[in-house]
A and B are shown apart, each in its own frame.
Chain A
Amino acid sequence: MEQRYDAVVIGAGNGGLSAAATMAKAGKKTLLIEQHNLPGGFASSFVRGRFEFEPSLHELCDVGTAEDPGDVRKLIEQTFGVEVEWLPVPEAYRLITINEGKDNLDVVMPFGVQEFIGKMEEYVPGSRPSMEKFITLCEQIMAALAYIGKSGGKADSKVLMKEHANFLKCGGYSVSRVFRALHMPKKAQRILSAYWCYVGVSTDRLNFALYAAMVYKYLTRGAWIPKMRSHELSAAMDARIRSLGGEIWYNTLAERILTKDGKITGVRTSHGDVATEHVIACCSPNALFGDMMDQKDVPEQQTRMINARSLGPRGFVVYLGLNRTADELGLTDYSYFIYESVDTVKEAARANGFNEHPMQATVCLNRANPGCSPEGTCIMSFTTLYNTDVWGDIPEKEYVAKKREVAEQMIRDFEQHVGVRIKPYIEEIEIATPVTMARYTLNPEGAMYAYSCADWDTMLARLMMLKEDQIVPGVRFAGGYGPRIYGYSSTYLNGELTAKLTLADMKEAGK
Chain B
Amino acid sequence: MAKVKLIPGLFALLKMAGDRKKHYRAADEDYRPDPVSDMAKRMHPESLSLKITGVREEVPLVKTFRLENMLCGPLPVFQAGQYISVKLKIGDTLTARAYTISSAPYEAEGPDGYYEITVREKPDGYVSKWMFENWKEGTEVSATGPHGDFYVSPLRDTRHIVAIAGGCGITPFAPMMKQFLHDRPELSLTLLYGCRNPEDVLFEKEIAAVVAAAPERFARFNTYEDTAGKEGLRKGFLDAAFIKENVPEPEKKTYFICGPAIMYSFLKKEFPKVAALERKQTRYEVSGAPGDVTRVEGYPAGKEEGTCTIRVWCNGAETRIPARKAETVLTAIERAGLILDSRCRSGECGICRSQLVSGDVFILPDGDGRREADKDLGFIHPCSTYPLSDLEVIIPPGKAAQT
Contact = CB atoms under 8 A, between A and B. Distances in A.
A125 B49 CA distance: 67
B105 to A, nearest CB: 9
Given A271-B397, A307-B31, A323 B278 contact: yes
A229 B43 CA distance: 28
Contacts of B372: 45, 52, 228-229, 231-232
B38 interface: yes
B272 interface: no
B214 interface: no
A173 B4 contact: yes
Contacts of A430: 149
B155 A172 contact: no
Interface in A131-190: 133, 137, 165-166, 168-173, 177-178, 180-183
A251 B23 contact: no
A45 B109 CA distance: 33
A47 interface: yes
B276 interface: no
A307 B377 contact: no
B280 interface: yes
Interface stretch (A19-27, A192-200, A392-400): A392-400
B398 A251 contact: yes
A45 B341 contact: no
Contacts of B39: 391-392, 394, 396, 399, 435, 438
B4 A52 contact: no
Contact of B374 (A171, A235, A428): A235
B36 A434 contact: yes
Contacts of A435: 36, 39-40, 43
Nearest to A430: B149
A272 B230 CA distance: 64
Contact of A389 (B35, B79, B353): B35
B29 interface: yes
Given A168-B10, A181-B4, A249-B397, A446 B37 contact: yes
B139 to A, nearest CB: 26
B3 interface: yes
Contacts of B396: 37, 250-251
A168 B9 CA distance: 6
B351 A37 contact: yes
A251 B399 contact: yes
A250 B397 CA distance: 7
A285 B49 CA distance: 31
Nearest to B109: A397
A330 interface: no
B397 A178 contact: no
Q: Which of B16, B31, B76 has the most CB of A within 10 A?
A: B16
A435 B39 CA distance: 7
Contacts of A50: 279
B153 interface: yes
A411 B219 CA distance: 33
Contacts of A423: 155
A423 to B, nearest CB: 7
A456 interface: yes
B-side interface size class: 35 or more
Contacts of B27: 303-308
Contact of B23 (A183, A392, A456): A456
A133 B373 contact: no
Contact of A392 (B34, B79, B350): B34
Contacts of B19: 455-456
Given A249-B315, A389-B35, A300 B29 contact: yes
Interface in A232-253: 232, 235-236, 239, 247, 249-253
Nearest to A165: B6
Nearest to A169: B9
A50 B38 CA distance: 33
B3 A400 contact: no
B35 A392 contact: yes
A404 B184 CA distance: 14
Contacts of A314: 36
B399 A173 contact: no
Given A231-B374, A300-B29, A456-B16, A393 B35 contact: yes
A229 B374 CA distance: 11
A196 B26 CA distance: 28
Contacts of B76: 396
Given A231-B374, A271-B397, A303-B31, A456 B20 contact: yes
Interface of B: 1-6, 9-17, 19-20, 23-32, 34-40, 42-44, 76-77, 79, 109, 149, 153-156, 278-280, 315-316, 341, 348, 350-351, 353, 369-374, 376-377, 379, 396-401
11 contacts: A38-B350, A47-B350, A50-B279, A170-B1, A178-B4, A229-B372, A249-B397, A251-B400, A393-B35, A396-B43, A435-B36
Interface of A: 37-38, 45, 47-48, 50, 52, 133, 137, 165-166, 168-173, 177-178, 180-183, 228-229, 231-232, 235-236, 239, 247, 249-253, 270-271, 286, 290, 300-301, 303-308, 314, 323, 389, 391-394, 396-397, 399-400, 404, 407-408, 411, 423, 426-430, 434-436, 438-439, 442, 444-446, 455-458, 460-461, 464-465
Question: Top 8 A-B pairs ranked by shortest CB distance?
Answer: A392-B35, A172-B12, A172-B13, A169-B9, A456-B19, A308-B27, A427-B280, A250-B396
